[in-house]
Chains A and B, each alone.
Chain A
Amino acid sequence: MKLKKNIAVSESGFLFDPNTGDSFSVNETGKKIIELLKEEKTDDEIIKWFAENYEIDKLTFENNFYDFTAVLQNHHLTE
């Protein structure tokens, strides 16, 4: 999963895609995933990091993570 390079995310979770002019709102965990994707972390690394740092088991997060990335693809925010 690779995020488009020029996607910008603000502190408050406002996300802007300069390619299309579309803007989005993300919650705290969504913002964190986008930040990790921008750092080019792999899916497995992100899943492991969340399971270690949040009150969530690995399998549930993996399920939620792939649902979230499917939405990113649907909004054409990935390469």
Chain B
Amino acid sequence: MEEKLKYERPVITKINAGMPDKFGMQAKMPVITEIDEIPVKKLIKQYGSPSFIISEKTIRKTFNEAKRAFTSRYPKVQFAWSYKTNYLNAICKIYHSEGSWAEVVSGFEYDKAVANGIPGNKIIFNGPDKSKEDLIKATENGSYIHIDHFDELYELLSVSEKLEKRPKVAIRVNMDTGVYPQWDRFGFNYENGEAWNALNRIMMSEKMDLVGLHTHIGTYMMTPAPYAVAASKLAELAVRIERKFNHKIKYIDMGGGFASKNTLKGAYLPGKDTCPTFDQYAEAISGALINSDLDPNEMPTLFLETGRALIDDAGYIVGSVLANKRLADGRRSMIIDTGVNTLFTSFWYEHEIYPAKEAGSHSEDTTIYGPLCMNIDIIRSAVKFPLLQKGDSYVIKRVGAYNMTQWMQFITLRPKIVLIDTKGETHIIRESETNESLTSHEKIPDYLK
């Protein structure tokens, strides 16, 4: 019998002679057939569609790139894993095994860090919401409490009167670093003197140990220059404290906010071409601290709480096409089994999505929808994408940050999360939800039973 020809979906694309740009675009969409040498097809078969896949190899590689960038420029550096970015225990333990402390922003995250075996004196407690019980626990455990507002400062003063241990504190400082919008909701303002006022009250109280200064200047910072401004301002505060109180602070914490290589909605060029490297952030921060008036013989430790830039690249979603359909004006749309409930970051990123097998060189302008019966469930509003068949697989890249903490249980159940270890073995690190696991939290009043 004569062998049949290889089939590819028929495609016709209108040729538009548009304005050429100097960058050009890749005509053929690349294909991702495997993640860390494991075929996507196999992952879907074994763990279901969709599934989150995390590469431990990429986590460790990225972490060590960041570490090298900073330790080669500054004498004392300490990373603290930002729990809110991804607080799956297995993920936190990978960062802790690389030497990262824990950076938490709630009592829930604090308890998670403790349960992960992190001693209290390696936990940094940020955030505007710390209960009285949280403050007592953090003080007794010797954690670093980053005070966010005066109400917290006074609560801590009141708490410390009844405790044997003195709280180890830093203040969170917000400031003008030349970026818009300026973040002023966290901590005390530098320019209007509030931060200096808070530092004076702490030092005068003699009930707390001022050990550090912290700032979190923004998120997804696409230029390193504001970090240099922020580091200079914190260094200036540290020098003033030493002059006035003869007291040296132990660390300067530059927070997080480093951009990953994802592309923000509305960006003209892809994030992978425009976002700064770890070296550029490190150069800005280290340069500013080294050039400040800080005593070069006793430089404070540089703390970093970067989350997104460390883990985004390590996360993938693998899934399947549910359907293709034409919109009213003839445009193509594709429905996939990952929606905005699972891929929360699609509200602000143009996520990169690729077919998981060769799909031909022709592509069409496509709107990619998730499976939800909601108009807002759009993964990509317009992307050149090859025509896949129902059931074909896809891979979404750079989903490691925030999705596995901010995702919603809405309409569908949340899927499995699978870790590929450095030897290429796979492990489920979070089971998919079931009806039972969700309804176990519900109660029905007797009269409705």
Contact = CB atoms under 8 A, between A and B. Distances in A.
Interface stretch (B7-15, B285-293, B422-430, B437-445): B7-15
A27 B4 contact: no
Given A24-B14, A24-B15, A67 B324 contact: yes
B10 A65 contact: yes
A30 B330 contact: no
B15 A55 contact: no
B12 A55 contact: no
B362 interface: yes
B326 interface: yes
B2 to A, nearest CB: 9
A73 B298 CA distance: 75
Contact of B9 (A23, A29, A53): A29
Nearest to A61: B7
B12 A64 contact: no
A29 B7 contact: yes
B5 A75 contact: no
Contact of A27 (B8, B324, B389): B8
Contacts of B8: 27-29
Interface residues of B, number: 21
Contacts of B13: 24-26
B360 interface: yes
Contacts, number: 73
Interface string B1-39: 000111111111111000000000000000000000000
B331 to A, nearest CB: 9
A53 B15 contact: no
A25 B12 contact: yes
How many A residues touch the partner, as a band? 20 to 34
B330 A70 contact: yes
Interface in B352-400: 360-362, 387, 389
Given A23-B15, A71-B330, A55 B10 contact: no
A72 B15 CA distance: 14
A64 B7 CA distance: 11
B11 A30 contact: yes
A27 B361 contact: yes
Contacts of B329: 74
Contacts of A30: 10-12, 362
B15 to A, nearest CB: 5
Given A54-B4, A54-B5, A55-B4, A27 B11 contact: yes
A70 B326 contact: yes
Interface string B325-352: 0100110000000000000000000000
Given A67-B324, A67-B326, A71-B330, A26 B12 contact: yes
A49 B286 CA distance: 69
A36 B4 CA distance: 18
A24 B324 contact: no
A55 B7 contact: yes
A74 B327 CA distance: 11
Contacts of A22: 14-15
Interface of B: 4-15, 324, 326, 329-330, 360-362, 387, 389
26 contacts: A22-B14, A22-B15, A23-B14, A23-B15, A24-B13, A25-B12, A25-B15, A25-B362, A26-B11, A26-B12, A26-B13, A28-B8, A29-B8, A29-B9, A29-B10, A29-B11, A50-B7, A53-B5, A54-B4, A55-B5, A64-B9, A64-B10, A67-B324, A68-B10, A70-B330, A74-B329
Top-7 shortest CB links A-B = A74-B330, A30-B10, A56-B7, A29-B10, A54-B7, A68-B10, A27-B362
Given A24-B13, A64-B9, A65-B10, 17 more contacts: A23-B15, A26-B11, A27-B360, A29-B9, A30-B10, A30-B12, A54-B5, A55-B4, A55-B5, A55-B7, A61-B7, A64-B10, A70-B326, A71-B12, A74-B326, A75-B14, A75-B330
